[in-house]
């Protein structure tokens, strides 16, 4: 691990200001992703800003009947909150499907959203990776890519976003709140928060330099049956081959978002109009622009079958 300096911020504004004035600074809270990458020298920040003591660890009700989840709320606490379990069950289920209890006890809401979109070639510094080293190439394109993206990818990157929580946030239409180094605040719809790779795969999100996530806001509950189904190679502590987050109403209408298929949580609202017609119709539109490899083509029928199972469960 390379040397770095460290400070503890006392407020969100102070943390953002510190990042703005310090070159190559990173925020650290749970550290479940960043510290691993630092040990591998994939990330090498010159300065770490500890944000654990800036008061963003509460879950509060909003005036319109939603919830405002502080950026530092731990995944375990969010999944266990009675309001989340009752009104946003898809989120609770997704959180419990991720990682293991030790990591969930440490990982934060903001940190979960900010996990690096990655693949095995990103971790191996002996391999080319445009995300880790822009312009070096993508080893996964012609290499081992069974777990990687089938839609929304580019010639620069076919990595998939690893978060389960983010898929649930996408189907819930959450909003990400931020503060910048100059004190300006923003509200970013979750649909616009994560990026597709394009020709800049090194940028996972639309956050600006020195911008700090302060909260994630959930809108008024949508009702319906909430389900999260994750298909993976191991029963626990494994990223999704594919995952399905769904909210299904009594008339068969609803929402669906996918994990494990793209550089970001994948949702196409136009495809949701097909939900009363069944999984095949939804999948056809949802993955209409799919571009598969020989190794990962199985993901398309896997999505259809998993979504079919979820819709069947929702109907009882």
Is the per-residue pLDDT at 1 higher than 80? no
The answer to whether 253 and 316 have CB atoms below 8 angstroms apart is no
Q: Which two tokens stand for residue 276?
A: 């009363």
pLDDT at 155: 97
pLDDT at 87: 98
Q: Which two tokens stand for residue 274?
A: 């097909």
Residue 312 confidence class, pLDDT cut points 50, 70, 90: very high
Is the per-residue pLDDT at 85 higher than 80? yes
Q: Delimit the domains of the chain by residue range.
A: 1-221, 225-315
Give the model confidence (pLDDT) of 110-136 as tens digits: 999 999 999 999 999 999 999 999 999
pLDDT at 274: 97
Specify the fold of 1-221. 3.30.465
pLDDT at 2: 87
pLDDT at 236: 86
- State how far the Cα of 58 lies from the Cα of 174, in Å rounded to an integer: 17
Q: Which two tokens stand for residue 217?
A: 């806001």
Q: DSSP labels for 57-82?
A: --EEE-TTS-EEEETT-BHHHHHH-H
- State how far the Cα of 234 lies from the Cα of 239, in Å rounded to an integer: 9
Pairing of strands 212-218, 67-70: antiparallel
pLDDT at 23: 94
Percentage of the chain surpassing pLDDT 90?
98
- Local structure of residue 46 (DSSP, 8 states): S
Is the per-residue pLDDT at 269 higher than 90? yes
Give the model confidence (pLDDT) of 141-176 as tens digits: 999 999 999 999 999 999 999 999 999 999 999 999
133 contacts: CB under 8 Å, gap ≥ 6: none
Could you list the beta-strand ranges (E) of 232-285. Answer: 242-248, 254-259
221 contacts: CB under 8 Å, gap ≥ 6: 65, 66, 87, 88
- State how far the Cα of 125 lies from the Cα of 138, in Å rounded to an integer: 12
Is the dihedral angle over the CA atoms 81, 16, 171, 63 positive or is it negative?
Answer: positive
pTM of the model: 0.97
Is the per-residue pLDDT at 284 higher than 90? yes
Residue 316 confidence class, pLDDT cut points 50, 70, 90: confident
pLDDT at 102: 95
How many contiguous H segments (helices) and E segments (strands) does the chain have?
12, 11
Specify the fold of 225-315. Enolase-like; domain 1 (3.30.390)
Lookup result for tokens 């928060």? 193
User: First vs last Cα of the chain: how many Å apart?
Assistant: 52
> Mean pLDDT in the chain?
97
Exposed/middle/buried for residue 254 (C-beta within 10 Å: 0-12, 13-18, 19+): buried
**Geometric angle at alpha carbon 295, from 289 and 297, rounded to 5°:** 35
How far is CA 204 from each of CA 110, 157, 193, 293, rounded to the nearest angstrom? 14, 11, 9, 23
Residue 217 confidence class, pLDDT cut points 50, 70, 90: very high
Residue 215 confidence class, pLDDT cut points 50, 70, 90: very high
Is the per-residue pLDDT at 91 higher than 80? yes
Q: Which two tokens stand for residue 240?
A: 């999704």
Give the model confidence (pLDDT) of 17-75 as tens digits: 999 999 999 999 999 999 999 999 999 999 999 999 999 999 999 999 999 999 999 99
């Amino acid at each position: 691990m390379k040397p770095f300096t460290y400070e503890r911020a006392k407020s969100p504004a102070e943390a953002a200001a510190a990042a703005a004035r310090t070159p190559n600074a990173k925020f650290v809270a749970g550290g479940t992703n960043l510290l691993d990458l630092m040990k591998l020298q994939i990330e090498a920040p010159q300065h770490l800003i500890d944000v654990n003591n800036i008061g963003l660890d509460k879950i509060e009700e909003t005036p319109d009947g939603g919830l405002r989840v502080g950026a530092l709320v731990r995944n375990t606490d969010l999944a266990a909150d009675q309001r989340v379990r009752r009104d946003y069950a898809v989120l609770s289920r997704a959180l419990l499907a991720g990682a293991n209890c030790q990591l969930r006890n440490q990982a934060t809401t903001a940190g979960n959203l900010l996990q690096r979109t990655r693949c095995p070639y990103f971790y191996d510094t002996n391999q080319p990776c445009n995300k880790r080293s822009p312009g070096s190439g993508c080893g996964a394109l012609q290499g081992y890519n069974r777990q990687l993206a089938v839609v929304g990818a580019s010639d620069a990157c076919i990595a998939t976003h690893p978060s389960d929580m983010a898929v649930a946030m996408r189907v819930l239409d959450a909003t990400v709140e931020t503060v910048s180094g100059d004190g300006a605040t923003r509200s970013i719809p979750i649909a616009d928060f994560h990026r597709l790779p394009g020709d800049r795969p090194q940028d996972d999100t639309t956050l600006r330099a020195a911008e700090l996530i302060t909260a994630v806001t959930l809108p008024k509950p949508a009702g319906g049956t909430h389900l999260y189904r994750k298909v993976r190679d191991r029963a626990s502590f494994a990223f999704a081959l594919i995952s399905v987050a769904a909210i299904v109403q009594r008339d068969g209408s609803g929402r669906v978002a996918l994990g494990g298929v793209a550089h970001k949580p994948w949702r196409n609202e136009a495809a949701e109009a097909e939900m009363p017609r069944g999984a095949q119709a939804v999948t056809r539109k949802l993955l209409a622009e799919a571009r598969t490899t020989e190794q990962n083509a199985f993901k398309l029928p896997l999505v259809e079958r998993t979504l079919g199972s979820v819709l069947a469960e929702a109907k009882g």
